[in-house]
Structure 1
Amino acid sequence: MQAIKKAIYSWISQRYMNGCSSYNNLEVRKGCRSKEQARAVFNKGNVPHARGLIFFNPFKAHSFAKQHGFPLVIKPNVSGYSRGSYFPINTYAQLWKAIFLAKIWWPTTVIEQYLKGSNYRVVAIKGELMSVIERYPPTVTGDGTKSISELIDEENAIRAEMKLHPTIYPIQKNEQTINFLKKQNLSMDSVPAEGNVITLFYRISLAPGGTVRTIDKSTIPEDNKQLFLDVLEMFDANILGIDVIFEKGIEHSYKDQKCIFLEVNSRPYLKMHDYPRFGEKEDLSPYYQKLDRLDISNADTY
């Protein structure tokens, strides 16, 4: 049975988790598999997180919306890379559609209050922060002369020149992008005004063309740093990729703004930290050397 588990885990790692780190033991990874588990730890440790609900029955989500109002987020209880996540949800029609689509990924589903702000991935290891990036959905910035289609071509050319692919994907001119533009009364032929930022899809994930910016860790207040390290200890982990939204930004204390911790990743995708579209690329080799010296039990077992 153990050999079968190892074979299955090896296949999952190669198929779905290429580029994801593996520095936590089996018990830690088991404790980080779902949003429900993270929510329970956040609640116990008084870590700020969104008011939400884990549900199987869709009518519970409807009742949550009636009680707490919009905007909301719907996402599978177990998933990765933002698969099956839908936000911001502002109507009951959008809510029911999102519930159906999220349940394709996983039968139990999360509904949460939505916070508009800056989205970050913070990688914490024992005693220090390894890397912090801000994550963006696919966007282009108008110059008053080029169409959105031309701006996409220009942006993709920059990504190719920077050799960001395949970690940072090109922006696609597909039906998904066209439909998202249509919701904004825009098309591929629209010419945005100079400086006007056009969002081409709502997700921050890399596959639709999302990008990342490195954050200078020296700009992060000490109380924010300590909170991330406290979360690492709460899960007894060697490394965590912590997803968090700050209303004003990570450069401001979490005590002075709205802030919600979303989830933790026991096998964070570290490759994207090496391919920033914006900001300076960091030398993360000292952190890898420190992690590689760890003796991880059951590292190859799911």
Structure 2
Amino acid sequence: MSLPKPLLPGWEDLEISTQIIIRDAIKRGISVDVIDRKENFLRLKQGSHVEFVKEASKTRLDSLMTYLVMENKIASKLVLSEHGVRVPIGRDYGSMDGALGDYAFFQNKKKVIKPVTTNFGIGIGISNRNDPFDSYAYYVKEAFSHSSSIIIEEFMEGPEYRFLVLGEEVVAVCNRVPANVVGDGVHSIAELVQEKNKDPRRGEGHITALEKIQMTDVEQLVLSGLGYDFSTVPKNGEQVFLRKNSNISTGGDSIDVTDLVHPEFKTIALQAAKAANAVICGIDIISSAIEEKPNPERYAVLEINFNPVLYIHEFPYSGKPREVGDKILNLLGFT
């Protein structure tokens, strides 16, 4: 769904998820005060009913401890496993030496290396089987640069899906595809990135429906693993991934699949949310067969996200847009 014009003229500096809440609140006659623009902090008022909303999905509905459990990947993994939710097998580390010392343990495994307390895919790396120590160490150091503790766990094969849970309902499901370009046999990867970034939906800072694809050392490292660099000219029709993580915040594509997923996956997402006592959250599930009955060998719940963005569902790169802002206002009790 194209956004050639700002969603809310005059509010363009706010995150687009926050703009969605403002838009839907105004439609209902709810007054909106922006308490802190940089923090995307709102006060909504309808008569005597007052609610504070931060970054579109942080509300009074979830307790501070629920946020802390969701934010901490060790804690969230613990509560998920204790509630019978399938999670990836792995280890957590509080020191660089400990993580680097386990290189041999993980050497023959494809693994995900991630900080314990970050969001938006920040600091996450994926190391392949038999990657050299230097590559493994790069991702470990990158993860520790964002958190005092990290997790290294098995990499589950398959696409990654974000299930948006609002209350007792999964209201939207989005397939998040890592940052990529498709070759035409003529242009270099750098040129293809520049062309894809011309899409008016792509910007920076979460104020547009999609984020621009970057060309940093991280993308270069991923390309080098393919034997490519930014000057490589991919074959016509060849899809080249520049990121291993699938976050939209790092240039990924959002594809709505709400009507395609097997109903039992939605049940699993709700089970995961309840494990953390979460009312508003995003559940990340990886599966090689999302349209089929869940098979424990072919899926895992990766994370519970405490601040799920709304715009990937309202304005997907492709697929049916889902109106989710109104549902948050409903949960807050607005009429």
TM-score normalised by L of structure 1: 0.81
Q: SS state of the match for residue 70, structure 2?
A: coil
User: Which residue of the partner structure matches residue 72 of structure 2?
Assistant: 34
Which amino acid in structure 2 is aligned with residue 201 of structure 1?
R
User: Which residue of the partner structure matches residue 84 of structure 1?
Assistant: 123
Q: SS state of the match for residue 144, structure 1?
A: coil
Which string of whole-angstrom CA distances, capped at 9 and with x for unpartnered residues, describes residues 116-173 of structure 1? 211111111232211111112111112233332332233223x216889634122234
TM-score normalised by L of structure 2: 0.74
Counterpart among 67, 80, 87 of residue 49 in structure 1: 87
Q: Which runs of no fewer than 5 residues in structure 2 stay unpaired?
A: 1-35, 42-53
Counterpart among 124, 145, 156 of residue 165 in structure 2: 124
Q: Which moved more, 1:93-102 or 1:159-168?
A: 159-168
User: Which residue of the partner structure matches residue 160 of structure 1?
Assistant: 200
CA distance in structure 1 between the partners assigned to 2:70 and 2:223 by the alignment? 36
Given the superposition, is the C-alpha separation of residues 228 and 144 from structure 1 closer, same or farther in structure 2, using an over 3 Å criterion?
same
CA distance in structure 1 between the partners assigned to 2:317 and 2:243 by the alignment? 17
Please provide the CA RMSD for this pair: 2.8
Q: SS state of the match for residue 250, structure 2?
A: coil
Preserved CA contact (<8 Å) 1:21 1:270 = no
User: Which residue of the partner structure matches residue 71 of structure 1?
Assistant: 110
Aligned ranges 1:98-137 → 2 under 5 Å: 98-137=139-178
User: Which residue of the partner structure matches residue 184 of structure 2?
Assistant: 143
Q: Which runs of no fewer than 5 residues in structure 1 stay unpaired?
A: 1-9, 295-302
- Tell me the CA shift for residue 80 of structure 1: 0.9
Preserved CA contact (<8 Å) 1:142 1:198 = yes
- Tell me the CA shift for residue 13 of structure 1: 4.3
CA distance in structure 1 between the partners assigned to 2:259 and 2:125 by the alignment? 33
CA distance in structure 2 between the partners assigned to 1:230 and 1:179 by the alignment? 37
User: Which residue of the partner structure matches residue 302 of structure 2?
Assistant: 262
- Tell me the CA shift for residue 178 of structure 1: 4.3
Given the superposition, is the C-alpha separation of residues 162 and 58 from structure 1 closer, same or farther in structure 2, using an over 3 Å criterion?
closer
**Identity of matched residues, %:** 21
User: Which residue of the partner structure matches residue 134 of structure 2?
Assistant: 93
Aligned ranges 1:230-249 → 2 under 5 Å: 230-246=271-287, 248-249=288-289
Q: SS state of the match for residue 219, structure 1?
A: coil
CA distance in structure 1 between the partners assigned to 2:112 and 2:64 by the alignment? 30
CA distance in structure 2 between the partners assigned to 1:162 and 1:104 by the alignment? 27
CA distance in structure 1 between the partners assigned to 2:319 and 2:120 by the alignment? 22
Q: Which moved more, 1:285-294 or 1:69-78?
A: 285-294
Preserved CA contact (<8 Å) 2:116 2:149 = yes
User: Which residue of the partner structure matches residue 279 of structure 1?
Assistant: 319
User: Which residue of the partner structure matches residue 300 of structure 1?
Assistant: none
- Tell me the CA shift for residue 179 of structure 1: 4.8
Preserved CA contact (<8 Å) 1:135 1:210 = yes
Given the superposition, is the C-alpha separation of residues 161 and 256 from structure 1 closer, same or farther in structure 2, using an over 3 Å criterion?
closer
Aligned ranges 1:189-200 → 2 under 5 Å: 189-200=231-242
CA distance in structure 2 between the partners assigned to 1:238 and 1:172 by the alignment? 33
Which amino acid in structure 1 is aligned with residue 289 of structure 2?
G
Which amino acid in structure 2 is aligned with residue 138 of structure 1?
A
CA distance in structure 2 between the partners assigned to 1:141 and 1:36 by the alignment? 36
CA distance in structure 2 between the partners assigned to 1:203 and 1:72 by the alignment? 12
Determine which structure has the larger helix proportion and give its number.
1
User: Which residue of the partner structure matches residue 24 of structure 2?
Assistant: none
CA distance in structure 2 between the partners assigned to 1:162 and 1:60 by the alignment? 39
Number of equivalenced pairs: 281
Determine which structure has the larger strand proportion and give its number.
2
Preserved CA contact (<8 Å) 1:125 1:229 = no
- Tell me the CA shift for residue 197 of structure 1: 0.2
Q: SS state of the match for residue 211, structure 2?
A: coil
